[in-house]
Structures are given as C-alpha cells and as structure tokens.
Structure 1
Amino acid sequence: TVRRKLHNTIQELKGNIRVFCRVRPLLGEELLGNNGEINHMNFPDEEHKILELERLAEVSLSESTLGGNRKGNGKYEFGFDRVFGPATTQFEVFDEISQLVQSALDGYNVCIFAYGQTGSGKTFTMEGPSVVDDENRGVISRGVLQIFSSTRDLVDKGWQYEFEGSFLEIYNETIRDLLGNQEGAKHEIKIANNDVTVTNLTTVQITSEDQITDLLKLASKNRAVG
C-alpha cells in the first residue's frame, strides 16, 4: 500500500542502522557526590544528538603511563542518532523507536538491542522494573502492546496474523535454546534466501501479551549465569 511504502521510505531515510545513547540517572551512593548532579556530562544541542564529556579535574598519570601528566580541562563530543538524558522517560525512549515496530508489522526485518556494561540500565530500558507498572514499562512490553493493538484493528478489517517466538542466547560461543528442554541439541545458524534461521530451536505460537511475559520469565530463568 501507499502508506506502507511511504512509512518505510521515511524509516530508511532516518537510517537503516541507528545508534541511540541513553544516560541513566545517578543511583544509590552515586547521589552523595556532586550534589547528585552529573557535572562531567553535557547535552549541548537542541536536537539531542550530541553527548559531550568533560574532564574537569586535574588528572595525574604515572610516568610509566603513555601520555605522562595531563592537566587542564578537556571536552570530547560524541554524535548519535539520538541522545536520551538522565531525565528521559520510558515513554520517550519507546516513542523514538515505535515506528520500527510498525515496520516489523509491515513485513520488514527489525532488530532492537541494548548494549552496555553491567549496571548501565539495559534491563530497565528493555524490560522495565521487576514489578512492572504502566509508566515504567520497557521497550519489549510496549512493543508487544503496540503489535497486538495494531493487529486487532487490522483483523477487524479482514487481515490475518500469526505470531511465533523463540529465545536464544550465545554463551561461550555456544547457542543455547532458552525455551527448549533438549539436552545436547546442536544449534547452527543457517542463512539462505536472505533468511536467517537457527536449527533445532524451539518455536512457540504466540496468542497474547501475557503469554510473551511468561515466556520472557522462562527464558530469563534458563539463561546462563557467569
């Protein structure tokens, strides 16, 4: 349809690969210093695409360290497709990527993932808090709600949709099926006809939002720890 073409042309113009940066607020003991403010980080542009890091204090390095002693302030700018500051809400994050969920419904391949060190806020962004409330729902939960809401409207217009899901992790260079119970099952990545599949991976028919929540809990329980 015309709507589908125009929508996904706009998404392509925004970039087939986009990198967002989210800065979480200070937590716990971090709030005790600097009056609870992040003084070394600035967001200088109104378009929210620049993150500026500033070295405020004198930094003394040992003579054996490359670069010797360094003094004075230094500013470093990093550009992203979008920067989310510490006050950004879960709604604002999802609003930026919700159009990609529509692209998935239109038949395009979409991948959204979070990357960062332990404690940086990946789980909160993607899943929300352990006790979910509407305000703090994560990207996954909001995406699922959007998918089922959109498809209900389309079903009323005569469309038919079927959903299925699977969960896997790659741990120590080994693919692990997080929904399966086949001990020793071998999983390989296969690429054919522009389609990527994983062999012997458990696939579950999805019929409701609550079912996905239960599958997420099961997958999390079966993840490797280490």
Structure 2
Amino acid sequence: MGTARKFGQILHSELDVHAAWVPVTNTFALGDYGVISGGVFVKTGNIAEYGITFATASGPSARLRFRSDGVRVTRFVAGAEVPNIPQVDLEASIRIEFSASDSFYVDAPVLTVDSIEDVARVGAALREVEGWRRRHKVVFSTYTGQGCTVISSRKANSTFELSATADVLRLLELGKATGGITLSGESAAGLEVIGATGVVGLRLFKLRQLTGGTDVLHTGEPDDEIEYEAPGDPEDDL
C-alpha cells in the first residue's frame, strides 16, 4: 500500500476526512474542486473561477496525535530517558522507532477547522454553471495543523531521532517550534514534516447525479475509487 493511501486511512480513522496530500506542504483552499485519484484528492481548479462566493466559519481547535501499531517513542535529555521534555537549555532528542514499513508518527498539537458555511447555496449556484462536471468534488472544510510533525517509515525496524535543545523540542510538542531541529535515521523516511503548519485534511461535497442536491462525501465510500481524468476527456455525467 502506498504512503499516500496509508495516510488517507489514518485521516479516515481519526477524523473521517480525506487526506490533503502531500500533508501540510500544499496549497489547498476552500472552494477547490477536483477528483479522487489513488485515494487522495487531486485539485483541478477553484469555484471562484465561476464567480461563486461563499461565507466561511471556523470551528473549535483540537489535537491530532497518531502512532501506528508498533511505533515506540522515547525522550532523552542530556543522555537520560525522561517521561516529558522539560524547558531547559540542554541537548535532547525524541527517538521514534518503527517496527513495520509504511508506519506513521503524526502529531498536530493544534488542529483548526475552516468551512464553507452556505454549502447548499454554493451547490445551487454550481448547478447553474454551464459545463460543470458532477463528478467534481468541492472542498468545503480544511483541517489545518499548527506545528505538525509527520514521519513515516520506508521499511521495518527503522529508527529516527529529532534532536535539538530541550526547550526547542518542548515547543515542538506544543506546536510552537520555530526551527533548530534536525532529523537523523538509519534510512530515509518516507515522509518528513517537522514543526510545519498547513492543511492535513479535507472534507468534500459533490452534486448528486439525478437530483443535483449537495452530497457530503465520507471517506471509505465507493466514490473514493473514481480515477482522475485529464482535462478534455469526454463528459459522461448526467
């Protein structure tokens, strides 16, 4: 199973949202539209191209913390193992051990949600757009992680270490790191995001084929398997 699809399964199980791939380092925004390919959303445009506007709202923040089975995390300060990283100016590290390939360590200390507030009105406007393809999915919620750390293993029995002073690593675990952290390991990680801020998950809607009403997509539905079609392919929607 590919890294992207595996990450999508994590977001499905933890939040019931679609993965924003690549996580954090992307440019997804509310109103983006596209299709699902390989289990992840592929953007092809934004509904602003059709002159459609929308109201937005923000929800309460949360925390996303995920460890695949077999992932072991230990913390060290001045060479001694500690239960938590203190705020001191001493060398420290966070060791992450993966017992299996395609495993994940995901920590988004602060996760915020922004959404299109008037989805039904937006759907009604899209129904009037000439040439709108009803297989298109539209982003109506974005889940943004503040100070995210996402690491995945390419192979089993891999070990990685995040190293910095203890006060910097403490800020990392609070989602407030500003740099000065190094990642080392026995082999290259499949995915490396250290203390960055960006979109990790998406919620999508589409127009129903027969009625034209808005249909919120849940992860794991058969619609997730629709493959990407390049612009210019023949239109076969109703």
Q: What's the TM-score once normalised by structure 2's chain length?
A: 0.21
**Higher alpha-carbon Rg:** 1
Compare relative contact order (CA 8 Å, sep 6+) and give the higher one, 1 or 2: 2
Structure with the bigger percentage of helix: 1
Higher normalized strand content (fraction of residues): 2
Instruction: Give TM-score, length-normalised by structure 1.
Output: 0.22
